[in-house]
Amino acid sequence: MYTDVKEDTWSFGGGIGLFLKKIAQPGYFDHLRTLVSSLNRGVNRKVALDHYTQLVGEEADRVLEIWSKQDRVQVFEETSRFVHRVIVRCLMGQDFYENHVDELYDILHHMETDIGHPLNMLLPDWVPHPPSRRLKQHRDRFGRIFQQQLAERRKDPQAWKDSLDYISFTLEDPRTAHLEDWLPSHHTVMMFAAHTSTVASIAWTIIELLRNPEYISEVRKALDAHDMDARHTPALLACIKETGRHYSGVHMFRTTHRPVDLDEGRYTVPPDWIVCISPYLTHHDPEIYHDPQKWLPERWLEHDSGTRNLNNPQEVAFLQFGAGCHRCPGEALAGIIAQGLVSHLLKNYDLALGNDDTSQDFSMLDFSKVGSPWLLGDAYIRLSRREE
């Protein structure tokens, strides 16, 4: 019921607006639905996803080569840089990537720090204070980067005619072309939506593989058997999906506009409340998942649970990407990014945990980000190239 409630009753835009309102231009959230629905048409086209798969492969090879030359690699931090580069290259395009990728990463970090600041959460918009001033500065800088790059594109429209980046799509599509002024805000929101959980998916999969090395050889064998086609290798997909179950922490918030009766009228949720559900709790319910605290990829390969659809209108028990009317439109891209990095890593490198101290506590989850939890304090890994 929760995942299907309509916007005029319980608002999804209001829910994410609680966190992200101040990083967007005033008025952006009025166009949220139109712009978000363009993701399915623009990003989830086969031709675009195939192209992104190729870009992810290039980025993965590049970044893994760099990691292998370092003494040790901070896994969440460095995966975060990798994911950012991929998101900018695929969604914004090669020009944003070549000219601004590092600056955009700094902007993302500054915004993340400032939106979580207590002054921003507690004070109304009209009260000036340093975090809100900084947010505005970064928002304006993001807007100028857009203006500059789009002006460059206009000088040579032929060069951008067939580009598969999402900005090109929205500028061409009649349903979104008139919304150009809102694109900076849309891409800021997309950077937040796309970043944290994709990083968590990759970094936790790497950590769990290192803690359960028997799966490393199994996944390598499966990748060989499938010609390195990560998108169709069940053993690898099961590892990534199990990470999605175990480390799911997206806050699914709604703000309420109308009263809704629950439990045959025993409770009424009034207007102007905030309601949320917790995928994390659902994913750790022993009535749904046996041994829920264990990372067990084989549960997705077993005949009963693996083949059962746990995300259907009667039983919404797997919520990594949400369900119903706000189900994540970035699921395919997130999958491609995670499958790309992990498969290239396992194929070409041997890996080990890089902490000298073997007693690291992997249960310290950091739920403070907009998305799935990271490991508090991060973890280190070491890479060395495998012999051919």
Q: Least distance in Å: CB of 33 to ligand HEM?
A: 7
- Please, is 30 exposed, middle or buried when counting C-beta atoms within 10 Å of its C-beta (0-12, 13-18, 19+)? exposed
Q: Which of residues 149 and 255 has its CB atom nearest to ligand HEM in the complex?
A: 255
Q: Using CA atoms, how far apart are residues 163 and 94, in angstroms rounded to an integer?
A: 9
On whether the CB atoms of residues 260 and 268 are closer than 8 A, the answer is: yes
Q: Least distance in Å: CB of 44 to ligand HEM?
A: 9
Q: CA-CA-CA-CA torsion for 150, 155, 158, 162, nearest 10 degrees?
A: -10
Q: Using CA atoms, how far apart are residues 289 and 312, in angstroms rounded to an integer?
A: 16
Q: Which of residues 92 and 132 has its CB atom nearest to ligand HEM in the complex?
A: 92
Residue in the block written with tokens 């090395």: 213
Q: Which of residues 131 and 329 has its CB atom nearest to ligand HEM in the complex?
A: 329
Position 54: which residue type? Q
List of long-range contacts for 357-363, beta carbons under 8 Å, 24+ apart = 362/207, 362/211
Phi and psi at residue 368, in whole multiples of 5°? -80, -10
Q: Which of residues 93 and 329 has its CB atom nearest to ligand HEM in the complex?
A: 329
Q: Which of residues 40 and 217 has its CB atom nearest to ligand HEM in the complex?
A: 40
Q: Using CA atoms, how far apart are residues 218 and 236, in angstroms rounded to an integer?
A: 9
How long a stretch of residues is the chain? 388
Q: Which of residues 42 and 131 has its CB atom nearest to ligand HEM in the complex?
A: 42
328 among the known binding-site residues?
yes
H/E run at residue 42 = helix 32-42
On whether the CB atoms of residues 88 and 104 are closer than 8 A, the answer is: yes
Q: Using CA atoms, how far apart are residues 28 and 19, in angstroms rounded to an integer?
A: 14
Q: Which residues bind ligand HEM (CB under 6 A)?
A: 12, 36, 39, 43, 190, 193-194, 197-198, 201, 250, 252, 320-322, 326, 328-330, 333-334, 372
Q: Least distance in Å: CB of 319 to ligand HEM?
A: 6
Q: Which of 103, 294, 105 is nearest to 199 (CA)?
A: 105
Q: Least distance in Å: CB of 39 to ligand HEM?
A: 6
Q: Least distance in Å: CB of 192 to ligand HEM?
A: 9
Q: Least distance in Å: CB of 207 to ligand HEM?
A: 15
Q: Which of residues 64 and 250 has its CB atom nearest to ligand HEM in the complex?
A: 250
Q: Using CA atoms, how far apart are residues 348 and 342, in angstroms rounded to an integer?
A: 10
Q: Using CA atoms, how far apart are residues 59 and 310, in angstroms rounded to an integer?
A: 33
Q: Which of residues 163 and 348 has its CB atom nearest to ligand HEM in the complex?
A: 163
Q: Least distance in Å: CB of 43 to ligand HEM?
A: 6
Give the residue closest to ligand HEM by C-beta: 330
Please give the structure tokens belonging to residue 92.
Answer: 């914004």
**What are the DSSP E strand ranges found in the chain?**
10-11, 73-74, 252-256, 260-262, 267-269, 274-277, 349-353, 365-366, 374-375, 380-385
Q: Least distance in Å: CB of 302 to ligand HEM?
A: 23
Annotated binding-site residue numbers for heme: 328
Annotated binding-site residue numbers: 328
